[in-house]
Amino acid sequence: MNENKNLDKTNINWYPGHMAKTKKEISIIISTVDIVIEVIDARIPYSSRIPDLKRLIRDKINIVVFNKYDLCDKDETAKWIDKYKNEGSIVITCDSKNSNDYKKIINEVNNTMKGVNEKRKNKGLLPKKAKCLVVGVPNVGKSTLINKLVGKNIAGIGNKPGITKNMATIRVNENMDLLDTPGILWPKFENNEVAYNLASMTIIKEEILTIEDVAVHIIKKLNKYYNSILLKEFGIDSYNDDEVEEYFERISKYRNIPVNGEVDYERVSLLILNSIKQEKIKGITFDRID
């Protein structure tokens, strides 16, 4: 199981046409947008950011929403929050299950538009309704966020990347509209780390990289940063690549997966991925500043 073997493949066939189309559409309509709401996964605050977003949104006000904040390692994620604030972004944290957290976004938009509309008033213009562009990588929780803001199920929700395919304008209230966009990725990952972090959180499709390699990446991260979680969830307290078969066998026995003469690597790998996908493992942040 080699984490590098499938990266060339991903550069060729994982970049759907609607993602390229979305980026072009954003560049066309961005002049009409007041605020960009960028949704990222708090567990991978670097890997889940769109690398060239600043170029796309130009000088627009940028609200970075650290979504799924309840699932992250708050001490480590706090370092990224400080970094993005220092770079000029407005930062909001949102727990997956807390509807009130999403109201912080509405409050921030209202506060921002007060200044905009004060200038319009001084020019003799009527107040302007906030037009907010919502962007993010697939499966980062944009649809959930939109539904929470609107107060009903508007945007499609699924546990697979790529649910939203087209832009759509959605009314939140008399002061705020959202422009929802399909999840955006990029044609080439800058390094393997980003690709595997995205795959670990099911942000890129599971068939892009082998689940065995993604599972090994998760185990390595837990071994490096969260040894107690590794022991509790999978019954191992260490990991090295030279003994991968032995570790998978130990996980099989610990989680009562029948071995029947040989380890079912796919089944064990799926168990590891689902532990994150189904939010059984919490308190983790894979991206590190230092």
The per-residue pLDDT for 123 is 93
pLDDT tops 70 at residue 193: yes
Strand ranges, E, within 115-186: 130-136, 168-173, 176-180
For 62-104, how does the pLDDT look when each residue is reduced to its tens digit (9 = 90+)? 999 999 999 999 999 999 999 999 999 999 999 977 878 888 9
Distant-in-sequence, close-in-space partners of 127: CB < 8 Å, separation ≥ 6 = 113, 117, 120, 121
The overall average pLDDT reported for the chain is 86
pLDDT higher at 238 or 190: 238
pLDDT higher at 121 or 155: 121
The per-residue pLDDT for 207 is 67
The per-residue pLDDT for 259 is 76
- This prediction's pTM: 0.88
Measuring CA to CA, which residue among 86, 94, 99 is closest to residue 37? Answer: 94
Report the pLDDT averaged over residues 247-271: 91
How far apart are alpha carbons 2 and 4 in whole angstroms? Answer: 5
Residue ranges of alpha helices (H) inside 71-226 are: 74-86, 99-122, 142-150, 192-200, 211-225
Task: Identify the structural domains of the chain with CATH numbers, from first to last.
Answer: 16-180 (3.40.50.300), 192-277 (1.10.1580.10)
pLDDT tops 90 at residue 45: yes
The per-residue pLDDT for 18 is 62
For 122-167, how does the pLDDT look when each residue is reduced to its tens digit (9 = 90+)? 999 999 999 999 999 988 988 888 988 888 776 544 434 444 445 7
For the chain, give the percent of residues with pLDDT over 90: 60
The per-residue pLDDT for 152 is 76
The per-residue pLDDT for 155 is 53
Three-state DSSP class for residue 40:
strand
**Pair type for strands 35-41 and 130-136:** parallel
pLDDT tops 90 at residue 182: no
pLDDT tops 80 at residue 267: yes
Report the pLDDT averaged over residues 171-189: 86
pLDDT tops 90 at residue 55: no
**Single-letter amino acid code for the residue at 185:** L
For 219-257, how does the pLDDT look when each residue is reduced to its tens digit (9 = 90+)? 999 999 999 999 999 999 999 989 999 999 999 999 999
